[in-house]
Structure 1
Amino acid sequence: MSRSRTVAVLLGGVALVVALAGCSDPPQGTVTATNSDGSVVQIVSNPAATSCHRFAPIGVTAVMDGTLADMRLYASANCTGTNDYLSTNTSVGGGPGGLARVFRSYAFVGQ
């Protein structure tokens, strides 16, 4: 393969990587968090994509992901440890009775 052809292939690969990196949807929309009695604890509109977000200090027991991006919910306050995956426009938690899982932070997938 000639040198100019090698350079062309490399540049094409770089362009493809850059194009694919832009395919991830930003988390535009609203994250709504509630507690076990159904009252709203926190509403976040258009959250930043690149950081760990904290819920209220006591945590929340139900979350609705009304954004364009999937998210991970954590029991820790710093987005570490095991997590629950929450897809776009879905919710988790808030069921009546029993022990509810408490979420203290969240981060967006692929951001």
Structure 2
Amino acid sequence: MPVTPPPAVTRRRTGIAAGAALVLCLAVTGCSGLGRTAVGPVEYRTDKDEVVSVNSPSVKGCHKMAPGGAREVVNETRIDMILYPTSDCSGGGTTYVATTFTDINSPRNAPWRSYRFVH
């Protein structure tokens, strides 16, 4: 014949299990607010032929480039990106650069001044 614990012990175990589940849910929710990154570098070449490398930038928001902008951008991250000729990721004249691809801007066009990720 199986032995069943008294009701008070059963309620205590249920309460402990419910409390542990609540703590785990809160921990997961808190951690989900951490910024995700685009794994890998974004490299670009400025008008002065300087190479700038940004390793694993955040997938959120607009990222400004060097003051002179960039003529060549290499996306070695795992997320596609959009290049903008403005410093605030606004306006038209954008270019879509898929992951592991490179974009070389024509000298007749304005340099890229910012980028954001497609996520």
Classify the TM-score, shorter chain. Answer: 0.5 to 0.7
Q: 1:28 maps to which residue?
A: 39
Please point out which of 82, 92, 100 is paired with 2:103. Answer: 92
- The residue identity in structure 2 corresponding to 1:49 is V
TM-score (norm 1): 0.67
Using the aligned pairs only, state the percent identity.
Answer: 30
User: Any stretches of 5+ residues in structure 2 without a counterpart?
Assistant: 1-35
CA change 1:64–1:33 in 2 (3 A) is: same
Dislocated runs of 4+, deviation >3 Å: 36-39
Partners of 1:68 and 1:90 in 2: CA distance: 11
Q: How many residues align?
A: 83
The structural deviation recorded for 1:101 is 3.9
Q: Which has the larger radius of gyration?
A: 2
Structure with a larger share of its residues in helix? 2
The structural deviation recorded for 1:47 is 0.2
Partners of 1:73 and 1:86 in 2: CA distance: 7
Partners of 2:81 and 2:54 in 1: CA distance: 13
CA change 1:94–1:80 in 2 (3 A) is: closer
SS in 2 for 1:103: coil
Counting only pairs closer than 5 Å after superposition, residues 4-83 of structure 1 correspond to structure 2 as 27-36=38-47, 38-40=49-51, 42-82=52-92, 83=94
The structural deviation recorded for 1:80 is 0.5
The structural deviation recorded for 1:106 is 0.2
User: Any stretches of 5+ residues in structure 1 without a counterpart?
Assistant: 1-24
CA change 1:81–1:57 in 2 (3 A) is: same
Q: 1:106 maps to which residue?
A: 115
Contact 1:36–1:94 at 8 Å: present in 2 too?
no
